[in-house]
Amino acid sequence: MLPTFASHLDALGQWRADTDAKLASLARFAREHDLLDDASAEWFEAMRHRLSGEKLMVAFVAEFSRGKSELINAIFFSDKGRRMMPASAGRTTMCPVELGYDAEEPVGLSLLPIETRLEAASLSDYRRHAQAWHWIALDLADPDAMATSLGEVVRTRRVSTEEAARLGFWDVSRPEDNPPLQADGLVEVPVWRHARINLPHPLLKRGLVVLDTPGLNAIGTEPELTLGLLPQAHATVFILGADTGVTKSDLAIWRDHLSGPALARYVALNKIDTLVDPLSTPAEVADVIARQCDSVAQTLEIPAAHVFPISARQALAARLNGDEAGLGASRLGAFEQALSDGLLPRRRENLAEAAVQGAQRFQHQLGRRFGEMRRLYADQLLELRGLRGKSTGKVQLMLQRVQAEATEFEQCTARLQAMRSVHARMLKDVLKELSSDRLRGEVDVLQQVLGGSWLPLGARKAFIELCGRLRGLIEQAQARNDEVHAMLVASFAKLNAEFGFSLVAEVPLDVRKYAEDLNLIERNYVQYLGLSQAFRLAQPGFQEQFRRMLVSRLRVVFETVSNDIELWNKTASAQVDSQLRERRRNFKRRYESLDRIQSASSELDTRLQEVQAQDERVLQLQTRLATLVDELTAQARATAGLGEPAASGFETASGLPTEIEHLSLDLNSLSVSTAPDA
């Protein structure tokens, strides 16, 4: 019984490997024929890294005991022959649990002690400090032992209310959210702050990262989860219980954490097995389920088709027992299908378009270069043919002419030098305002304005102002890069006219689109600052965490902008370098040809043939390049087994087509331990 989501993710993984192989052939071809400039090499590497390493994060979010962990078991772990994640009555997941696979790290469970909350460092800081984590090896051959180890994620410890308060689990001003006080005056708090499971599960190996969360409305929720992890998930699954319907706290979680427009949201109405009533016919039960879905949809203000009735427990049991009928009754299939359709094709499409567009840009760039080479060969052929039947004196004259031309041409070097230094200076100006120092400075201004008192209203206003200033920085970078573009257009025109170059300025770069990423961060944080939970910002430790987290998220955006700008500018100067090299090579070749012809007139035909052969070789390269790019395009756009992107179905980030792509950058750095420093 092949789980649907699993098999689709597998198909996507295969597609990624195949597409990467095509990209690798293209890169190899370019390198072997000395056609790969630095900027293109960088692009190939980054694209291949994305294809092989990009993560897809699905977060499961809900109030306590709605069945998040059980659903994860049913979708991802039914092959283990038993329940892996603790999900039975009274076994509450106490910390966010991230399941993923990183081949560089050993298989096991890493646990970050809750006491680290007393330090200012953020979760992303800790990701880079292996020694801060408690590590437990997992024995893949022993599912029972593994399940026991995974039981760590529900472990609690009893502490005094003072300590609970320091750790962020107790607040006298919000008694309704506090954990129950026990007879001895102690309260239970989680032992761990965060858990990471590194497991070579086929799906996780394919780049899936699953995030299981503890009930979110609890007082102890990490801001990092709300602000760092959830907004970066490619999809969130919000789970409700058919036995409870939409409770007040379900609704609060939905509004506070899931109403952002950026996430692909899935709503599962779990535990439909509890609606089975021996006194009703199956049709009557189905009707009750349908009516409950309608009412959920109304309350959450989403279309009824977006609510999926399921029974996670029934699905898990059915998969463990190979019970087709039970699996059918659990209705998990339809939900998994929707999850695959809504998520994976879009994922593939984003990657495919990035790969195809990049390859086509590369082809175009080389096409120009090939054109230039062929133009020079044509000139040379003309020159050589003109020598037929001419005296050695004439050849001598020609030699002198080539020499004179070469000398004249070399005058361009001073001009190129001047252009390069102007370009470098302008580029430095563009990048200056995007540095992480500048960014940190801006965030510090926010802190100064607030002066330690992060009252929700003030914080919100100051934060919105900060985002405004940051958007200004991107706008300014855009304007300055436009100036670079104008400078290049003008300089290229002059160089082409005076020195016979055929330089073409790239199409202007657009970094304005990244302001959309800032908007997204702004929306998430503003939402958080407006939350009832913002009271937590009053605690000094959290403030520092908040700041670091903010800086690290903003930095991903700014680094993406800087990288784009650098790559664009590198591509522009690479063109100049390659044409300069080609021209010099050409002078040398012409000179050598004439020189040989001068000493033996029989050489003329040989030289003509040589130049012709060189020209043919360029043609062959061009054909080969076109074939490789076509093959890559065909592979990248092949949808066999992967399905088309869901037409509408979900509220995905369709309004912001580049968003998922950019976000995945942070995801990458999140799930391997190289998250940016704050």
Ligand X SMILES: Nc1nc2c(ncn2[C@@H]2O[C@H](COP(=O)(O)OP(=O)(O)OP(=O)(O)O)[C@@H](O)[C@H]2O)c(=O)[nH]1
Give the footprint of ligand X on this chain (CB under 6 A): 62, 64-70, 87-89, 91-93, 214-215, 270-271, 273-274, 311-314
Our CB check for ligand X shows the closer of 94 and 509 to be: 94
Using CB under 5 A as the binding criterion, the count of chain residues that bind Mg ion stands at 3
Tokens linked to 298: 């109304």
The answer to the question of residue 270 lying near Mg ion (CB under 5 A) is: no
257 binding partner (options Mg ion, ligand X, none; Cβ < 5 to 8 Å by kind): none
What is the nearest approach in angstroms of Mg ion to the Cβ of residue 87? 6
Indicate which of ligand X, Mg ion, none lies near residue 669 (CB less than 5 to 8 Å, by partner kind).
Answer: none
The distance of closest approach from Cβ of residue 336 to ligand X in the complex, given in angstroms and rounded to an integer, is: 15
CA distance 227 to 258: 11
Whether 174 contacts 535, CB under 8 Å = yes
We find the least distance from the C-beta atom of residue 74 to Mg ion, in angstroms, to be 13
Q: In the complex, what is the shortest distance from the CB of residue 81 to Mg ion, in angstroms, rounded to a whole number?
A: 20
Task: Answer yes or no whether residue 93 interacts with Mg ion by CB under 5 A.
Answer: yes
* Bridge partner residues of 609 (DSSP): none
Residue (335 or 463) nearer to ligand X, CB: 335
Specify the residue, 207 or 214, whose C-beta has the smaller distance to ligand X. Answer: 214
Q: Which is nearer to ligand X, 70 or 224 (CB)?
A: 70
Query: Stretches 67-75, 235-243, 291-299, 507-515: which one binds Mg ion (CB under 5 A)?
Result: 67-75
For ligand X, the closer of residues 225 and 366 by Cβ is 225
Nearer to ligand X, 209 or 565 (CB): 209
CB 307 → ligand X: shortest distance, Å?
Answer: 15
What are residue 190's DSSP bridge partners?
Answer: 156
- Among the listed ranges 60-68, 136-144, 251-259, 387-395, the one in contact with Mg ion (CB under 5 A) is 60-68
CB of 61 to ligand X, least distance (A): 9
Select 258 or 427, whichever has its Cβ closest to ligand X. 258
Contact (Cβ atoms closer than 8 angstroms) between residue 23 and residue 40: no
CB of 316 to ligand X, least distance (A): 8
The tokens of 527 are what?
Answer: 């939402």
**Nearest Cα residue to 618 out of 365, 370, 378, 372:** 370
| Residue 627: CB minimum distance to ligand X, A | 52
When asked if residue 73 is in the footprint of Mg ion (CB under 5 A), the reply is no
Alpha helices in 386-455 (DSSP H): 392-410, 412-432, 436-450
List the single partner that 3 binds among ligand X, Mg ion, none, CB under 5 to 8 Å by kind.
none
Instruction: Find the DSSP H helices in 279-391.
Output: 282-300, 312-321, 324-330, 332-385
Pick one of ligand X, Mg ion, none as the site partner of residue 345 (Cβ within 5 to 8 A by kind). Answer: none
Buried b (16+ CB within 10 A) or exposed e, 108-143: bbbbbbbebbeebbbbbbbbeeeebbeebebeeeeb
Q: Return the number of the residue (274 or 392) whose C-beta is nearest ligand X.
A: 274
Q: Which residues contact residue 388 at a Cβ distance below 8 angstroms, ignoring those fewer than 6 apart?
A: 604
Q: Where are the alpha helices (DSSP H) in 451-539?
A: 456-499, 515-529
Q: Residue 134: which residues within 8 A CB-CB, separation 6 or more?
A: 110, 111, 112, 113, 192
Which lies closer to Mg ion via its Cβ, residue 150 or residue 167?
A: 150
**What's the CA gap between 215 and 79, in Å, rounded?**
26
Residue 66: CB minimum distance to ligand X, A: 4
Cα gap 355→638, rounded to integer Å: 13
Pick 93 or 178: Cβ nearer ligand X: 93
Among 525, 670, 638, 674, CA closest to 234: 670
Residue 573's alpha-carbon distances to 185, 423, 490, 504, 577, in angstroms, are 70, 9, 14, 11, 6
Q: Which does 273 bind (CB under 5 to 8 A by kind): Mg ion, ligand X, none?
A: ligand X
Q: How far is the CB of 17 from ligand X (least distance, A)?
A: 33
* 69 lies in the binding site for Mg ion (CB under 5 A): yes
Q: Which stretch binds Mg ion (CB under 5 A): 61-69, 275-283, 359-367, 611-619?
A: 61-69
The amino acid at residue 212 is: D
Binding region for Mg ion (CB under 5 A): 68-69, 93
